[in-house]
Structure 1
């Protein structure tokens, strides 16, 4: 049986070498300009992520949610650390808090204006998670957990996922908001909302994972 697989693999490889793929004639067509015109935003990457391949983006968000649930599941039966070490020297605390402030501002900028310039929801969420991580390495786990519960971060994370899926399904059905004026802050239809929802999801999900790993593994 294995010889059949070997022969099939060799035949497929020969096919790649001998039979060229027909190249489309794109001399008069600019892919970037087409995506920008269809999405109504200058950032063609966001247009592709939240419009042309929105179906894939939905499952990327779902996979990230499953990864967070997996972290909780895998560490649920382990014993929390009795002592969690963190940065206590004043220079490190000041630098980490300053970095967290700057990163948080960058995260907000990327979430709000990600459809107009390089950036977007995923980058904004990573920046937000980085800001939370910088605060976590200089704060007590109990304080971070208390804030997480006080602001119901877990609930908002789930709500952002549900709203994202609903808006994405509505968009896939063919219902779109007005694109507005190209380059304006309120433009691109539903894309800015999807950007913000992804940023919230990724940032809050990163917060949850950071708390779990600090509780069971300490500072990595």
Structure 2
């Protein structure tokens, strides 16, 4: 069986060397202008991530999901930590919660307007996860866990992943939403929705990981 794999690798390399990489007629527009024109949004980076290289982004979301599942698996047999270290002085609590508020607002802005300006779903999710982490180090673990369960954050995380994959498959199949007016909030077809779904997934996944590390490690 090993020789089959070796022959397959050699055949693929021969294909790369023998078959030419033909280039079609290049457009008169620059690459960036062409991407903006095709996607209907001014942020070419987001257009590449969520349109031109959507296959890559799908698997990036799946890898992040697997990493959160890995945290669950690796800590499943751990003994909960007896003492949780948190900020206790008033100044640190005020500053941490102020930072959490700012991070949350930035996350919402990046998720909603990431297709118009620098930002996007992953950056928005990181900002949201940062806000949750800052709240976690100033609040009781029981309260954080209660909020997580009350609003079914784990279920919403799974729903966001499934919705992202379904919408991505539909987009890759060639069915696109209306692009709208270039530069408008409701433009870019499915790109804004994909941004929001990624932001929800990353933020809620970070929340789950934070709760696990607090419970089993006593520290963030």
How many Å separate the matches in 2 of 1:58 and 1:73?
23
Any idea what SS the aligned residue of 1:56 has? helix
How many Å separate the matches in 2 of 1:122 and 1:139?
26
Partner of 1:140: 140
Unaligned stretches of 5+ residues in structure 1: 1-22
How many Å separate the matches in 1 of 2:215 and 2:92?
21
Q: Does 1:189 align with 2:193?
A: no
Deviation of the 1:26 alpha carbon = 7.3
Deviation of the 1:24 alpha carbon = 10
Unaligned stretches of 5+ residues in structure 2: 1-22
Deviation of the 1:170 alpha carbon = 0.2
Partner of 2:104: 104
- TM-score (normalizing by structure 2): 0.87
Q: Does 1:131 align with 2:120?
A: no
Deviation of the 1:82 alpha carbon = 1.0
Do the aligned partners of 2:113 and 2:120 also contact (CA within 8 Å) in 1? yes
How many Å separate the matches in 2 of 1:71 and 1:188?
35
How many Å separate the matches in 1 of 2:63 and 2:147?
26
CA deviation map 1:75-129 (0-9, x unaligned): 0001000111110100000000000000100000000000000000000000000
How many Å separate the matches in 1 of 2:188 and 2:151?
31
Deviation of the 1:25 alpha carbon = 10
Partner of 1:17: none
Any idea what SS the aligned residue of 2:131 has? helix
Q: Does 1:74 align with 2:105?
A: no
Partner of 2:14: none
Any idea what SS the aligned residue of 1:186 has? coil
How many Å separate the matches in 1 of 2:25 and 2:50?
26
How many Å separate the matches in 1 of 2:136 and 2:94?
13
Deviation of the 1:31 alpha carbon = 1.1
Do the aligned partners of 2:82 and 2:218 also contact (CA within 8 Å) in 1? no
Do the aligned partners of 2:157 and 2:205 also contact (CA within 8 Å) in 1? yes
Deviation of the 1:219 alpha carbon = 1.7
How many Å separate the matches in 2 of 1:84 and 1:71?
19
Deviation of the 1:207 alpha carbon = 0.2
Partner of 1:20: none
Q: How does 1:2-151 map to 2 (within 5 A)?
A: 28-151=28-151
Partner of 1:180: 180
**RMSD (Å), alpha carbons:** 1.9
